[in-house]
Amino acid sequence: MFCPHCGSHIALELATRFCPECGQRLPYIPVSERRYPESGSFSQTSQKPSAKKNKKIAGATACIVIALVFVSLIGAAQIYDEYVLSGKVEVQQITDDTYFELSGDFLPEKEVFTVSLTSDGKIAFALNDDLSQKYDHYSWWLFDKDHISSTDVFAYSKYTGERLEKTEPVLYYLQQKPGEYSVSVTCYVDTDGQLVRAAAYSGTVSYIGYITKDYSWKYKGEDYNVQVTFRYDVYRHYRDLIPDGRAVTNYNRVASFITYEEPVVTGLAESLREAYGIGLDMTGQDFAAFVLAFVQICFEYPPHTPVMGADEYQYGQSEYFAYPLETIFYGMGDCEDTSILAAALFKALGYNAGFVALPGHALAAIGLDEYASGSYLVISLEILSQTIGDITYYGCETTVDEPQGIGLVSKSGDDGRPYSWYIGKNSYGFYPV
C-alpha cells in the first residue's frame, strides 16, 4: 500500500497504524484483507529495518497482583508480516501455532541441514546423516540476529556471532529461544593427520514461537507483578521496519513509533490496569504515575560509556528510535525508547499522550485535567509542561531508577540551562500523538 498523505510505499501493512515517513495515520486494514501464512513454501519481498541518562536496574520482588496478557495469533488467523528473506522459504511446523522458517541449505530439498527442538531445552542444528558420514571435523558459526549489537560494555565491539570447533555434526543452541539464526558449517576430512577443508554449507532458521516477559516492581510500598506474552514474528515486524536507519530529526515523525493500538501494548496496558486495582480511579495523575513507575523501574538503560553510546551498544547505530515492541523484547532502551513505550501505554489507557523532544534528551508526555506536584518536588527538579490547545501536557522522565513523579524533570540539561528554557525553541517541545 501507499501512504495517502505523502505517497510513501508501506510494504508492511498489517500492524503499523502510522506512516513511518510522514507520521500520519494509515487506513485500517480489515481482517478479511490481511494475509496469513500457509504451510509449505512461500516467497516474500523486502523490508527490514537513535540519548542519554542514568542506567537502570529493574526490581524483583514477590507479587501480590498477577495480571497476564496472552497475545496469541494462532494458525490461519494470525497476522503475518511480509518478511524478507532472499529466495525460497519453507515452513516446518512444530505445533499448531509455532514453526520454523527455513531458507538456504535448511530447505528440505537441499538435504543438508535439519533443525529440531530437543527434549532438554535446546535447538539442534545438524547435518543430515548421509553428509555427516563424509567428514571428520566441523567449524560451526551461529549468528543470532536479535543479539545485542555490542559484545563489550566499555567500547563498541560488534557482535559477529559465535564459533565452535567440533567433531560432531550438530550444533546446539543452549535454549529454545524464538529468534532468527544464521548457521554455517565448514566441514573437514582427516587426511594423514591433517584436516583438509572439504565443503561448506549455510542457511537461516527463524523459530516462530512465544516470548514471555515477567516484570516485578515495588511502588509506594506494595509489590506488583505483570506478565506479557507475544509471538516472535510480531516483534520481528517492528524490528524490520525502516531499514535505512532509525535516527529522527523531524520530531513530528515520532508519533509513528507510538503504536498504542498494537495488541501487545494494549494487552500490557490492560494488565497494568488490573494490577493497579479494578475499581480505583484510572483517569487521573495517580494511576498515570503508577504506569510511569513501571517503565522507570522495569526497563534498564543500556550500558554506555564516553566512547560507546547506549544505542550503539544495543542496536549498533549512533541514534535509534525503537518501537515499543523492540523495547519490550530487549527489556531496555535509552530515553527516547522508554519514552515512546510510556507514551504508548498512556495512550492505550485513554490518556492524551505524546513525546517531548529536548536537547540530548527525550521524555514521555501525558495530558492531565488536574495536576499536583506532590511531595516529590526537590530543588534539583522542575515541573515541565506545555499547553497545546486546551490540554496541558506534562513531561515524564523514564530513565531514573526509582519512581519520579509526573511532570518532574531534571532542572538543568547538559549545558546548564533548565529544560523549560528550550520549549518552543529549535523544534524542542511537546509532540502529542
**Are 116 and 198 within one domain?**
yes
Q: pLDDT digit of tens for each residue in the chain (433 aa)? A: 445 445 455 544 434 445 555 555 454 443 334 343 333 333 332 332 333 344 333 333 333 233 333 433 332 223 233 333 346 999 999 999 999 999 999 999 999 999 999 999 999 999 999 999 999 999 999 999 999 999 999 999 999 999 999 999 999 998 999 999 999 999 999 999 999 999 999 999 999 999 999 999 999 999 999 999 999 999 999 999 998 899 999 999 999 999 999 999 999 999 999 999 977 888 999 999 999 999 999 999 999 999 999 999 999 999 999 999 999 999 999 999 999 999 999 999 999 999 999 999 999 999 999 999 865 556 789 999 999 999 999 999 999 999 999 999 988 777 889 999 999 999 999 999 9
369, part of any domain? yes
- ∠ CA 262-266-272, nearest 5°, is 150
Q: In which domain, by residue range, is 290 found?
A: 231-432
**Are 185 and 244 within one domain?**
no
2, part of any domain? no
191, part of any domain? yes
β pairing state of 429-432 and 385-388: unpaired
* 338 and 322 Cβ atoms separated by less than 8 Å: no
**Are 136 and 285 within one domain?**
no
Complete edge-to-edge strand list for the sheet that includes strand 89-93: 41-42, 89-93, 99-104, 194-208, 179-191, 137-144, 162-166
The three three-digit cell numbers of residue 347, written as one number? 495512550
3-state SS, one letter per residue, for 223-239: EEEEEEEEEHHHHHHHH
Q: What distance in Å separates the CA atoms of residue 270 and residue 224, rounded to the nearest whole number?
A: 14
297, part of any domain? yes
**Are 327 and 411 within one domain?**
yes
**Are 106 and 149 within one domain?**
yes
**Are 117 and 258 within one domain?**
no
**Are 153 and 288 within one domain?**
no
**Are 236 and 367 within one domain?**
yes
**Are 186 and 277 within one domain?**
no
**Are 381 and 341 within one domain?**
yes
Domain count of the fold of the chain: 2
* 112 and 138 Cβ atoms separated by less than 8 Å: no
Of 173, 208, 243, the domain-final residue: 208
Instruction: Give the CATH number for residue 337.
Output: 3.10.620
Q: Can you point out the beta strands (E) in 79-193?
A: 89-93, 99-104, 113-117, 123-127, 137-144, 162-166, 170-173, 179-191
**Are 203 and 261 within one domain?**
no
Instruction: Give the CATH number for residue 192.
Output: 2.60.40.10
Distances (CA, A) of 349 to 25, 114, 272, 291, 353: 19, 45, 9, 10, 10
Residues 6+ apart with CB under 8 A from 156: 150, 307, 308, 312, 313
**Are 193 and 259 within one domain?**
no
